[in-house]
Amino acid sequence: MHDGVSPMKIWLDGKVLEAGAAKLPVTDHGLLYGDGVFEGIRVFSGNVFRLDDHLARLAAGAKALDLELPGGLSRIREIVLETVRAHGEPEAYVRLVVTRGEGALGVDPTTCHDPKLFCIASDVHIYPDEKLAEGIALVTASVRRPPPDVLDPRVKSLNYLNNVLAKGEARRQGADEALLLNLSGHVAEAAVANLFAVLRGELVTPPVSDGALEGITRRTLLELAGSLGIPAAERSLTRFDLFAADEVFLSGSGAGVVPVRSLDGREIGSGRPGEVWSKLRRAYLDAAPALGVPAFEL
């Protein structure tokens, strides 16, 4: 979701490298066919946010693809922490990637024998303060989210073309982000973030069955809503529900918790960030460090 080049460290083949020194073969099936899984993870105050939850989701996605995780989860956990330490910043964004590895031309995954893992730790580039103050603009994408029997959204795979097309469409229309609907016209999520709506005091987010990723930040906000006494539910939503909502906001590891001011040129609620968003974002930022795994030795 970010423009520009930021300082980063990359773990690859047992070494932590500068970005320019990290290289993959062009015959890697992750590059050729989007065959692999990934996780986007935040670091808050030197703590890797819900690392074990991210690793559990990575493992589930890899199993769904019949993809072996090199070294196992305990080793991958160490690699993430090692990369974050090498980056050296208490606030960071981590991209953990596992590809099918090198193979013959053609989609046959059985020609690949050594899955490839790499981990990137980079500076954080969330939406600027003015976007958090005024909210972002959404437009409804013309492309639809594939149903689970085509591509299950619970698998955070390297095949993100659906999201890329939606995001590009939004940007060409002068908007910040795209709204993705499923084939039934129900809201799935934004191009690269989960979506929440506040309807008559209730916090509602689309269920996974409608095409939403099982977001780690999404889950955290639902838990925090319970602790704050905010009624919350997973329920199908349409564009009409968003137009009728008092508030709409997005959540994601990279984006954080971001208010939405408009959809397709129409104001959402007051057209300004709302009270529920403000409470949940503050609670999220306060809780995040304690929900993380320390990366730096005391």
Q: How many whole angstroms separate alpha carbon 136 and alpha carbon 191?
A: 13
DSSP string, 123-178: ------HHHHHH-EEEEE-SS-BPPTTTS-TTS-BS--HHHHHHHHHHHHTT-SEE
The answer to whether 29 and 37 have CB atoms below 8 angstroms apart is: no
Identify which of 78, 75, 89, 73 has the alpha carbon closest to the alpha carbon of residue 121: 89
Q: Output 103-111 pairs: Cβ under 8 A, ≥24 positions apart.
A: 103/27, 103/28, 103/29, 104/27, 105/27, 105/32, 107/29, 107/33, 107/35, 109/29, 109/35, 109/66, 109/67
The catalytic residue positions are 156
